[in-house]
A and B are shown apart, each in its own frame.
Chain A
Amino acid sequence: MNLSKIQEIFSAQSKNYLILFALFILPFTISLSQISSDNNLLSPKNRLKFGDYLYKEKDYLRAAGEYKEYLKTSNNDTVQFKFANSFFKIGRFIEATDNFKGLFFNSLLSEEARLMFYESNFFRNNFKTFRELADQSNYKTVKYHDEIERLKFTTYFFDDAILPDENIILKPFPDSVQSQLSQFYYQKKFPKQKSITTAAIFSAIIPGAGKIYTGEIGDGITTFISTALSAYLAYTNFNADHQFRGWLFTGLTAFFYGGSIYGSAASAQIYNARIRFNFENEVKVYFEQRDYFLPKIDF
């Protein structure tokens, strides 16, 4: 249908029809321009829409890609926050910290970005650096000061730094968790470990005693019996003039005896590692279940 024919139709009809048609066609004209811009799937608007969809679907890496393209043309604090947070969510904490830093100044999300910056640094597991950062005044936040203090003192439970006084560490935490954290504090400060030297000396005096000291009672008794029996066999074989068997069992006795000393030292080491691992695991689960006492910030 060409234009002249349409004009012919209009001229032939009443004014009311013309108005009606104009009213009818106007939204189409508007939507035509809208749809044609919408058709460009890579327009900033569509990038943002698609990025938000991916972000909601937890496809953070792809969402970050879309946000990155969007941010090339538009400046939007929320999008920049989500861009940085996408990296945080997939554990790329270095990129997350770099991008949260971009929101430190002249942004409505400055405080949240600072908190997330600290969170990203915390999860990089370099706790010494984190504590240094937490003490730096130029990155500090007023709104989330307590949260960062809590994170700073949480780090002491995860590394080998010298523990500050109990009251200092526990101060930023709520009353409801004070007794549990106090228990963790003393477990950390005075771990119930076994001495490697003591275990080895015990086994040197009585084979297997070191293992009993480290809690491996069954192993200790077995070691004692095997060493004693092989020593006895060496003795009886020498007595029966079986030189080869006598020396063989002597060697076996020496092997059991040496093994018992070494095994006891290793057992003490394993015991200590287990105590440490269990403690760290317990602390980690405890803090994870409470989201490290951090507020949930997301959009």
Chain B
Amino acid sequence: MNIRLSIISFLLLFSLVSKGQDHLTLWYNHANNLFNNKLHYDAVTEYKRVLFFDSTKSYHYSANYKIGESYKAGAKFDEAIRYFSFAELNARDREEIFQTKAQIIRANILRKTTARAVQLCDELEKDGRFVDKRDTINYWRGWAFMFANEWQSAANSFALINPSHELKLLAERTEKAKVSVTFAKVISYILPGAGAIYSGKFLSGLMSLGWNALAGYWTINSFIEKRAFDGIVVGELVWLRFYRGAIRNAEDIAIEKNLETANKSLRFLQNEYKGIKP
């Protein structure tokens, strides 16, 4: 008799709990619909509702993960990382742990904390559970380097996946198109304006050269005419100013040129690249 009573009670209790969970499933699906329709604010509200009423913690991984994704889509990366971390705590298997860790890396890439992203990639690589995930880890490490403007390191990471990987070739192209800031400065020390010409700004380089030649002429001419004080003052006030300006200009132009090159590649990644993006 006691056994029968226990069975009845268990069935009653089970049906009550499962009824509640069914309702939660419906609500979770509703939240998913909002998420799929890119209504991220509402989706977060409903996922949070699911989490709040989920007494059995059945949705603690998936709802937290989706909240993280919603925040990431809304560019709220700090919040996104927070919820991915909650999801990681509730992950049920190796795959789920890896997915959340990868999402944390991607959010770090997007919020430009690339050093942290690379550090997380290194930690994942050392973790024995994810030996078969090396390609994915290298892929996101490559992205982190691209966002950190370290294109050669990015190319090296993508090469570990595939020596002819599309992104490896892009990173190499970008690195090759960049100019050396130090070289631009050094040649400007030797010949004012040469650094600007090296970086592709011919007019600016020629003008620098012209101003320096004129100021140099005035300085030397003053000394020839035995007006030494004039020579010193013109040399200091005019010539040296143009000379220093040419070096500074060469550096600025080289940095700007590199930035333009990097931005061009990043624009390609944003608008034309078909693979997975952070």
A binds B: yes
Contact yes or no, B1 A39, CB < 8 A: no
Identify which of B8, B44, B227 contacts A1 (C-beta below 8 A): B8
Give A276 to B246 CA distance when docked, in angstroms.
Answer: 40
Contact yes or no, B234 A233, CB < 8 A: yes
Chain B at the A interface: mostly helix, strand, loop or mixed?
Answer: helix
Give A39 to B50 CA distance when docked, in angstroms.
Answer: 11
Give A275 to B49 CA distance when docked, in angstroms.
Answer: 50
Shortest Cβ gap from B58 to chain A (Å)? 15
Of all chain A residues, which has the CB nearest B234? A233
B13 at the interface (CB under 8 A from A): yes
Contact yes or no, B45 A65, CB < 8 A: yes
Identify which of B12, B13, B16, B49 contacts A41 (C-beta below 8 A): B49
B4-26 CB mask vs A (1 if < 8 Å, else 0) is 11011101110010011001100
List the A side residues contacting B13 at CB < 8 Å.
28
B27 at the interface (CB under 8 A from A): yes
Shortest Cβ gap from A249 to chain B (Å)? 9
Contact yes or no, A236 B230, CB < 8 A: yes
Given contacts A9-B4, A46-B53, contact A41 B23 (CB under 8 A): yes
Binds B, one of A29-37, A96-104, A161-169: A29-37
Give A24 to B49 CA distance when docked, in angstroms.
Answer: 32
A54 at the interface (CB under 8 A from B): yes
Identify which of B7, B27, B48 contacts A62 (C-beta below 8 A): B48
A6 at the interface (CB under 8 A from B): yes
Contact yes or no, A35 B19, CB < 8 A: yes
Of all chain B residues, which has the CB nearest A230? B237
Of all chain B residues, which has the CB nearest A226? B237
Contact yes or no, B16 A35, CB < 8 A: yes
List the B side residues contacting A20 at CB < 8 Å.
5
Report the interface size class on chain B: 20 to 34
A1-27 CB mask vs B (1 if < 8 Å, else 0) is 100001001000100010011001100
B269 at the interface (CB under 8 A from A): no
Give A25 to B4 CA distance when docked, in angstroms.
Answer: 13
Contact yes or no, B4 A39, CB < 8 A: no
Give A286 to B198 CA distance when docked, in angstroms.
Answer: 55
Contact yes or no, A229 B233, CB < 8 A: yes
Of all chain A residues, which has the CB nearest B15? A32
Contact yes or no, A21 B5, CB < 8 A: yes
Q: Which residues of chain A from 33 to 69 have a CB within 8 Å of any chain B CB?
A: 35-36, 38-41, 46, 49-50, 53-54, 59, 62, 65
Give A82 to B245 CA distance when docked, in angstroms.
Answer: 61
Q: Which residues of chain B from 204 to 218 have a CB within 8 Å of any chain A CB?
A: 218
B132 at the interface (CB under 8 A from A): no
Q: 4 tightest A-B contacts by CB?
A: A39-B23, A35-B16, A62-B45, A39-B20
B interface residue numbers (CB < 8 A to A) = 1, 4-5, 7-9, 11-13, 16, 19-20, 23-24, 27, 44-45, 48-49, 52-53, 218, 225, 227, 229-230, 233-234, 237
**What are 14 A-B pairs with beta-carbon distances under 8 A?**
A17-B1, A24-B5, A25-B9, A28-B16, A39-B19, A41-B24, A46-B53, A50-B49, A62-B45, A229-B233, A233-B233, A236-B230, A240-B227, A245-B218
